Structure 1
């Protein structure tokens, strides 16, 4: 079960990075608000905030997916028999893995291209763009690992984690994710 602990730690660390990105956005906005009173601008704040937004979205993907918090339409799959549902889950997860791998590949390709041409930000502070762009392939890659993790669970005959999490919330009377 060391692999399970390592994967769960990876998803948690990725979510923690997303939270740090949100915290960074918060601090930048508060600093801008306070310094505006003294007519002191923060150079590059808009650029950094934009990249932190991308980081918060991509790094949160895997953890959110595993907890069943991503938007999921289950109208068809919930009406299937357990055996048919398991087969459909496997097909959908396999398709999701292909799509996520495609996204990861092209995000990584974009980072490499930015690195090769020494692409620089055009804002008030010049910095190499490949560095903040790393959040995209890293977050998408961790999401790919999470999708493959769920696919293996389903192929082993287990319920996916997102389904277990949704059932646990429903058993507690928490339907906040269903709204």
Structure 2
């Protein structure tokens, strides 16, 4: 199960990287084509959708690597038992919020599919396709949050604590403060 989950997080990070590469290629292509006196139709729209995809696909992987902003000043000063309770509460509330986001972004994408909504720009492509990045990415973040919630309930360290400790062991403190 651990390998499957880690594979899911890596796949999601790979999709974020591909979306970022797509942004670069569209923008670089736009510059090159503009030098020839032409434009790429809907380039701005494509870049905007790829920005959303990059952000949402990166969430789960970033969470697992302790790369998302976390305010740990209160939690870090608690006793181990109180810290465990606080982690459970924080992960539970965060999981509920992300589940809510996942649900409603999925409903929005499915509604776009149902009504056959298309982009209003120069190229009329179906909007449900770029919209699916939001529920997929937030769904993977939800899995990562639940993964860490299970770890805390089982008495293990969370992935973000392990990642922070690994950085500290390597002498990398820039991300911590």
Q: TM-score range by the shorter chain?
A: over 0.9
Q: What's the CA shift for 1:178?
A: 2.5
Identify the residue that residue 39 of structure 2 maps to in structure 1.
41
Distance 1:113 1:35 in 2: 35
Residue in 2 aligned with 1:51?
Answer: 49
**Which residue number in structure 1 is paired with residue 6 of structure 2?**
8
The 1-side partners of 2:164 and 2:121 are apart by 43
Residue in structure 1 matched with residue 125 of structure 2 by the alignment: 127
Distance 1:101 1:43 in 2: 36
Correspondence 1:15-164 to 2 at 5 A: 15-164=13-162
Secondary structure of 1:144's partner? helix
For residue 112 of structure 1, report the CA deviation from its aligned partner: 1.0
1:172 Cα deviation from its structure 2 partner? 1.1
Q: Structure 1 stretches (4+) deviating beyond 3 angstroms?
A: none
Total equivalences in the alignment: 177
After superposition, give the CA deviation of every residue in 1:51-92 in whole Å (9 maximum; x if it has no partner): 000000000000000000100111100000111111110110
In the alignment, structure 2 segments of 5+ residues that lack a partner are none
TM-score by length of 1: 0.97
Q: Distance in 2 between matches of 1:140 and 1:172?
A: 30
- Rounded to whole Å, the distance in 2 between the matches of 1:117 and 1:33 is 35
Question: Which segments of 5 or more consecutive residues in structure 1 lack a partner in the other structure?
Answer: none
